[in-house]
Amino acid sequence: MEEKKFDPYQFIGFILIALILTWMLYRNGPAEAEPENTTTEQTVPQSNTTVAAPIQNDSIVQQQKVASYGDLGSLFVSSELAPVNLETEQMTIVLNPKGGQISKLTLNAFENYEDQPLPLINEGNTDFNIQLNTLDGRVLNTRDMFFNPIVRDGEEAIQVEMRAAFNLQQYISFLYSFPKNGHMFSFSVKTVGMSSLLNTSVAPELYWKTDIFRNSRSIDYENRYTEFTFGYEDDRVDYLSLSGDDEETRQDLRWISYRQHFFSAIMIPDQSIDEAKITSTDLSGEASLNERFTKSFTTTYALNSGGELNSNLKFYYGPTDYKALKKLEGDLETSIPMGWGIFGWINRMIFLPLFEFLSSFLSYGIAIIVMTIIVRLAMSPVTYKSYVSQIKMKVLRPDIEQINNKYKDDAVKRQQETMSLYSRAGANPMSGCIPALLQLPVFYALFSFFPVAFVLRDKSFLWADDLSSYDSILDLGFNIPFYGDHVSLFPILASVAIFFYTRMTTGQQPMPQQPGMPNMKIIIYLMPLMMLFFFNNYASGLSLYYFVSNLLTIFLMLVIKNYIIDDTKIHAKIEENKKKPKKSGGFSARLQKAMEEAEKQKNARKK
């Protein structure tokens, strides 16, 4: 179950879609397995491990640090061993003897927006540390220790044990197991013979921090989908704020995901975390970082320890792909924001399988167009109902204007007569609202689907180099507030389509102006402009969908108008109904009676 938190960007998109539907309404009325087989131990270097230059240290600083730890100082003496370089089918990994942690992790199959190898860990952007407390009050941080690596190259996986040894019988061990195929690896930390030195009343503390690299052309757009997500309790999912900074203390965490839009670093402990402090910091606006990072995520929690420390974790470093995460153990796919409630259900049950099927034999751009056609045809009965309602309200508009002029000083009487006219004519002003509202879940589901569809990443169509990013045809060289520093073509085409659809449906009929209400024509013509600004930095696949969808809607409306609906027959039917005696009962009668009672009470108060 997903926790509902306020998402300002999706809220803006939802409001924009709702506004587009508003004028449609208004015109009608008033995991991988762990390896089992390993070979004999090898010391570095070995056949699949290359040797880099020895690590250089400031001897004076090191001597001071060693002296401060007394008899434990040997843990902080540089072994001057080279980093361990490993490569699997999916990843290139570097393990640093200092800290025993991964200093570089690159995904082999992907590149960033600069066509460079895509690193998830590099240049010190990640800090992984275990903090231990000794009986004499000293604090030991594994990030400062020097580990000796032992590499075991097995048939299915490469195991690397990193040992920071006080002596042969007392040491701290980090054990990594990297499958030769897959994005998930296991990690365990344990102490051997250290219980007599450690203060067991103070639990060891794990600290995991990552500054998320920018990997897409639009840092603002990428930042909207870079998010700290976590699973907790049995099946619940929650996340920290998308905008600004956020900090919480949460209990019973099953997994923690540092999601960088299309790539994720996910930590899965062997047992649920009792309590963790988690933070998210927005880095995208810091000028000193030169737009290299989007956000910074940190997790801090106490490890269970009964004397000797022994804790096991799994890590996933790979694509934020729903299909790939679904195959792994647990519910890691819920870290992807497919939409809450019915919107997420529509995406998971309908649009994901449909798009996967279409893209299996069509190019991704054509698959979007075909899926759009299928959706619009499926919604054509709703379009038909909406258009019939529009015609009925258009026929009644002259009568409504007469009523408005006749009772312009009596709002209650004006409303009573209007409802009476609707009742006699057999028209319902809400009949156009309901069909349009039925389309809202589909619109919003697709609005959530395209920005997180990993399969669109780096897929080109026409002039769009990447359907998961904006389709710039012109770099402005300067930034326009709320618009950007470039011009995207698909949003322009979608806005033009909306404009002509608006003209087609409302341009030939007068728009009633209610007292105290803004001019609806101005609002209607502002909507294409709003879409132009809002979608300029969005995924071009989403803009392509809206462009094709509006073209199809125009086509369907023309077909319905010219070949399906007979305006003359509808007009004659309404005129016939208007001549019939007024029926009593029903919603209109109850509403009219309530208005009459309200008018009586109002007159009574005046006396």
* Mean pLDDT, residues 290-309: 87
pLDDT recorded at residue 368: 93
Q: Which residues pair with 281 in a beta bridge?
A: 296
CB 48 within 8 A of CB 87: yes
Nearest in space to 422 (alpha carbons), one of 22, 30, 24: 30
Residue-wise DSSP of 274-305: EEEEEEEEE-TT-GGGTT-EEEEEEEEEEPPE
As a whole number, mean pLDDT of residues 116-139 equals 89
pLDDT in tens, 549-567: 888 888 887 887 777 776 6
Express each pLDDT in 81-91 by its tens digit.
889 999 999 99
Q: Which residues contact 526 (CB under 8 A, 6 or more apart)?
A: none
User: pLDDT at residue 43 above 50?
Assistant: no
Element (DSSP H or E) covering residue 205: strand 205-213
Rounded CA separation 317/110 (Å): 12
Please tell me the predicted confidence (pLDDT) of residue 600. 64
Token output for 49: 């491990």
* Interacting residues of 29 by C-beta distance below 8 A, sequence separation 6+: 389, 393, 429, 430, 432, 433
Question: Within 13 Å, how many C-alpha atoms sit on residue 170's CB side?
Answer: 12
Instruction: Please check the confidence at residue 54 and state whether its pLDDT lies above 50.
Output: no
Other CB atoms within 10 Å distance of the CB of residue 474 = 10
| CA–CA gap between residue 82 and residue 45 (Å, rounded) | 9
Mean pLDDT of the chain: 78
In this structure, the number of other CB atoms found within 10 A of the CB of residue 307 comes to 11
Q: What CATH topology corresponds to 42-337?
A: Beta-galactosidase; Chain A, domain 5 (2.70.98)
With cut-offs at 50, 70 and 90, classify the pLDDT of residue 275: very high
**Burial (0-12, 13-18, 19+ Cβ within 10 Å), 265:** buried
Q: What is the C-alpha to C-alpha distance for residues 228 and 436, in angstroms, rounded to an integer?
A: 35
Locate CATH 2.70.98.90 in the chain: 42-337
Closest listed residue to residue 328, CA positions, set 315, 309, 337: 315
Q: Tell me if the bond preceding 117 is cis, omega within 30° of 0.
A: no
- Identify the burial level of 67 via C-beta atoms within 10 angstroms of its C-beta, where 0-12 means exposed, 13-18 middle and 19 or more buried: exposed
Most confident of 13-17, 35-39, 255-259, 586-590: 255-259
What average pLDDT does this structure show over 433-459? 81
Of 363 and 519, more confident: 363
- pLDDT, one tens digit per residue, over 318-367 is 999 998 999 998 889 999 988 878 888 888 889 999 999 999 899 999 99
Alpha-carbon distances, residue 280 vs 11, 228, 232, 243, 593 (angstroms): 20, 7, 17, 9, 56
**Residue 478 is encoded by which pair of tokens?**
């300067």
pLDDT of amino acid 22: 54
Confidence of residue 36 (pLDDT cuts 50, 70, 90): very low
Q: Give this prediction's pTM.
A: 0.77
Question: Can you list the alpha helix ranges (DSSP code H) found in 379-488?
Answer: 380-406, 411-425, 433-449
Q: Alpha carbon of 228 to those of 237, 294, 299, 336: distances in Å?
A: 11, 12, 10, 11
* Each residue's pLDDT tens digit, 234-259: 888 999 988 889 999 999 999 999 99
CA dihedral of residues 529, 9, 350, 183 (deg, nearest 10): 130
Q: Which residues pair with 86 in a beta bridge?
A: 93
Is a pLDDT exceeding 90 seen at residue 474?
no
**Contact in structure between 146 and 77 (CB atoms under 8 Å):** yes
pLDDT at 404: 79
